[in-house]
């Protein structure tokens, strides 16, 4: 699937392909775990060119898809990509690195130390200008009204994003943690790669992302902090994915979610079981028009998600994980968590 476009999306709205291909080829960049990284110098050149051009479109109320990977963020992004008024950017982490320079958790574009949380600072105006120029280029190329940027890790950087875009809106899909952990572990086993002496996978270049999560976020949680040293050394993708889900889900649950806020949590399971109603409510909240083609595509590509079985976690993680399942409303799945020996 190129640029997150499948044949059924083309049948529903052929015109969306041009904008998506422009974004994919020129504005999104390629992370370490994908092919085609040779294009990254061109992408950064496009960012620089965009700064020399007058603003092509104004950027109002940008929409950000945030949360934990493997929780439906990609599917929700594809639905937005299909919308007649939207230009969708799929994880344009290269752009955020271009604008900030110290937030590349994976290590796709830099070896500079990265912070999981990015706080507002004196460079806000410069960063805003850089991102706005590229967003405007994307909107002009797509002939769209709304920009949607899917970058899951921004869940830890919402204050920074709000400092850049005070009118931003955040859509945060969440999903049953047991299924997320299983999905992340499978993804990592399929997509891990080695380049010279470096290992590239879900946890970044040589575990760069994992180390940042453990060193920077785990100390914020009283039930995880005492086990920081053990967590730093664990090699289990299941334990790691469970910790990431705990950290991300707790962050999402802290967001100020109310009808007048800038944040909306969407349950992946609800989108799968009643896509049209969930999308109508979401579009109404975002003040974008309903799109029948999006509804039709979503209906034909969703079913109640199947259970992916149990998971085994180390004892230090199992209890915090089960508690977070309860807090997030996934009570029944707590019994699917086993203690590894």
Q: Structural domain tally of the chain?
A: 1
Contact yes or no for 268/305 (Cβ under 8 A): yes
Query: Is 205 inside a domain boundary?
Result: no
Query: Is 214 inside a domain boundary?
Result: no
Query: Is 48 inside a domain boundary?
Result: yes
Query: Is 313 inside a domain boundary?
Result: no
Residue 308 pLDDT greater than 80, yes or no: no
To the nearest 10 degrees (0 to 180), the angle between helices 292-300 and 73-82 is 140
Q: Which residues of 208-231 are buried (b: 16+ CB within 10 A; e: fewer)?
A: bbbebbbebbbeebeebeebeeeb
CATH number of the CATH domain containing 157: 3.40.50
Query: Is 124 inside a domain boundary?
Result: yes
Rg (CA), the chain: 19
d(CA 136, CA 146): 10
The β-bridge relationship of strands 198-201 and 193-195 is antiparallel
Q: Cα dihedral angle (14, 142, 262, 51), rounded to 10 degrees?
A: 150
* Phi and psi, residue 135, nearest 5°: -60, -45
Q: What are the tens digits of pLDDT across the range 251-295?
A: 999 998 777 799 999 999 999 999 999 999 999 999 999 999 999
Query: Is 172 inside a domain boundary?
Result: yes
Query: Is 110 inside a domain boundary?
Result: yes
> Structure pTM?
0.96
Range of the domain at 253: 7-177+241-302
Q: What are the tens digits of pLDDT across the range 47-91?
A: 999 999 998 999 999 999 999 999 999 999 999 999 999 999 999
| Sheet of 86-90, strand order | 86-90, 146-150, 63-65, 169-174, 263-267
Query: Is 215 inside a domain boundary?
Result: no
């Amino acid at each position: 699937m190129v640029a997150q476009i499948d044949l059924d999306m083309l049948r529903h709205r052929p015109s969306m392909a041009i904008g998506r291909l422009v974004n994919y080829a020129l504005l999104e960049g390629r992370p370490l775990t994908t092919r085609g990284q040779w294009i990254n110098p061109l992408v950064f050149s496009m960012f620089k060119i965009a700064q020399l051009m007058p603003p092509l479109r104004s950027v109002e109320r940008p929409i950000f898809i945030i949360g934990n990977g493997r929780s439906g963020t990609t599917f929700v992004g594809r639905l937005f990509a299909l919308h007649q008024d939207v230009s969708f950017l799929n994880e344009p982490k290269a752009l955020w690195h271009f604008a900030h320079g110290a937030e590349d958790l994976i290590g796709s574009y830099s070896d500079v130390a990265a912070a999981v949380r990015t706080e507002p600072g004196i460079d806000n105006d410069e960063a805003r200008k850089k991102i706005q120029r590229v967003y405007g280029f994307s909107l002009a190329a797509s002939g769209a009204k709304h920009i949607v940027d899917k970058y899951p890790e921004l869940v830890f950087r919402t204050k920074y994003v709000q400092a850049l875009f005070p009118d931003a809106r955040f859509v945060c899909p969440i999903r049953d943690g047991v299924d997320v952990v299983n999905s992340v572990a499978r993804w990592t086993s399929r997509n891990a790669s080695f380049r010279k002496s470096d290992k590239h996978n879900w946890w970044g270049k040589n575990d760069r992302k994992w180390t940042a999560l453990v060193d920077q976020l785990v100390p914020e949680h009283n039930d995880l902090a005492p086990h920081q040293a053990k967590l730093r050394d664990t090699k289990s993708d299941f334990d790691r994915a469970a910790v990431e889900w705990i950290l991300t889900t707790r962050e999402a649950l802290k967001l100020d979610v109310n009808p007048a806020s800038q944040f909306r949590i969407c349950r992946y399971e609800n989108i799968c079981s009643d896509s049209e109603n969930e999308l109508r409510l979401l579009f109404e909240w975002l003040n974008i028009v309903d799109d029948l083609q999006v509804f039709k595509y979503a209906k034909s590509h969703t079913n109640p998600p199947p259970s992916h079985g149990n998971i085994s976690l180390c004892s230090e993680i199992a209890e915090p994980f089960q508690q977070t399942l309860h807090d997030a409303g996934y009570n029944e799945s707590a019994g699917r968590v086993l203690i590894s020996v």
